[in-house]
């Protein structure tokens, strides 16, 4: 009788552990719990947090990192890394602002900004695949190159006076009370979700990150796929740069500085593995919201902004630790 009870309890405990592992391994559910916990804490800690203006500002704060992180997610899922996205954001925004200031139409200026990010992403991918140089070294070098080009473009002074009402509307306007920049980001989120979860491109990305040799033997053009994910990363970073330029209506020489680390943090917090083969579009979005919540909370609680770096670092360590633990259990 005693042995029977022990076995029953053991089975219940085992099933409970399995259910918990399943819960936290689903698409973004684990980080969703963390997001809700932070949301509830700030709701209690600050009477200003739940105001309409603050919630709208919170979503707007999150979208720029979210866009970059969605691109970085594809790169990380293949086992690569992209450290150049923050500088691509700044340079693409700078190109857009500079062209508009020089008399180009908004459409041409935006296209030039997008092409800037796309081309840099392709260059990163080509160097990594054809010259067999480490992705870390290539994108780290590109971080400096793009930043240097932006400083040359701005001559170390901000670019101002170019924003038309139509351009400013992209990140400052609203449709039915919803900020335009949030709507644009939501559309891109839906596209990224569909591409990663419902297309052969998304499946190949995961296979490549899991086992590159197996992907190659399966007929996947691994070089083209790697170039493609870096191109996507550059394009989304450029999109974020153009929207941030619209938001600020100016371009600073250091615009986007440090965004690459926050984008990687958002992806990792959201369940994307830095070792490849695993990613979550929903998780990335939640990870970006968590980082925005941390920043927003620090502002509302009047906490020294230097603690943001410490808190972000701690969150990354916890997220990576949980991700590795879940991977071993799986």
pLDDT tens figures, 115-171: 999 999 999 999 999 999 999 999 999 999 999 999 999 886 788 888 899 999 999
* Burial group, residue 15, by CB count within 10 angstroms (0-12, 13-18, 19+): exposed
Bridge partners for 178 per DSSP: 175
Indicate the length of the chain as a whole number.
330
Most confident among 152-161, 186-195, 271-280 (mean pLDDT): 186-195
**What is the per-residue pLDDT across 313-327, written as a single tens digit (0 to 9) for each?**
787 777 667 666 666
- Give the separation between CA 237 and CA 72, rounded to whole angstroms: 9
pLDDT of residue 6: 45
CATH of range 51-329; options 1.10.3470, 2.30.29, 1.20.140, 1.10.10? 1.10.3470
Mean predicted confidence (pLDDT) in 48-65:
89
**How many Å separate Cα 111 from the centre of its chain?**
21
Task: Give pTM, 2 decimals.
Answer: 0.86
Q: What are the sequence ranges of the domains in the chain?
A: 51-329
């Amino acid at each position: 009788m005693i042995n029977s009870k022990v076995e029953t309890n053991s089975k219940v405990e085992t099933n409970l552990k399995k259910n918990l592992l399943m819960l936290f391994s689903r698409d973004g559910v684990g980080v969703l719990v963390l997001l809700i916990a932070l949301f509830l804490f700030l709701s209690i800690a600050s009477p200003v947090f739940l105001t309409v203006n603050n919630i709208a500002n919170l979503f707007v704060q999150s979208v720029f990192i979210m866009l970059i992180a969605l691109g970085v997610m594809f790169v990380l899922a293949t086992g690569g890394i992209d450290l150049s996205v923050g500088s691509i954001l700044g340079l693409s925004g700078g190109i857009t602002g500079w062209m508009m200031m020089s008399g180009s139409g908004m459409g041409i200026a935006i296209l030039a900004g997008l092409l800037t990010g796309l081309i840099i992403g392709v260059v990163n991918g080509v160097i990594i695949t054809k010259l067999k140089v480490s992705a870390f070294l290539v994108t780290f070098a590109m971080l400096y190159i793009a930043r240097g080009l932006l400083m040359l473009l701005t001559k170390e002074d901000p670019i101002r006076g170019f924003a038309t009402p139509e351009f400013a509307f992209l990140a400052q306007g609203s449709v039915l009370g919803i900020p335009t920049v949030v709507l644009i980001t939501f559309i891109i989120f839906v596209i990224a979700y569909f591409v990663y979860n419902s297309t052969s491109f998304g499946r190949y990305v995961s296979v490549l990150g899991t086992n590159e040799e197996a992907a190659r033997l399966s007929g996947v053009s691994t070089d083209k796929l790697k170039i493609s994910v870096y191109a996507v990363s550059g394009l989304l970073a450029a999109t974020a740069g153009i929207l941030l330029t619209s938001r600020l209506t100016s371009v600073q020489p250091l615009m986007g500085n440090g965004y690459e680390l926050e984008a990687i943090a958002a992806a990792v917090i959201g369940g994307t593995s830095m070792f490849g083969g695993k990613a979550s579009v929903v998780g990335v979005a939640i990870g970006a919201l968590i980082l925005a919540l941390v920043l927003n909370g620090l502002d509302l609680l009047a906490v020294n902004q230097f603690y943001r770096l410490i808190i972000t670092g701690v969150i990354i360590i916890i997220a990576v630790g949980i991700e590795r633990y879940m991977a071993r259990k799986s």
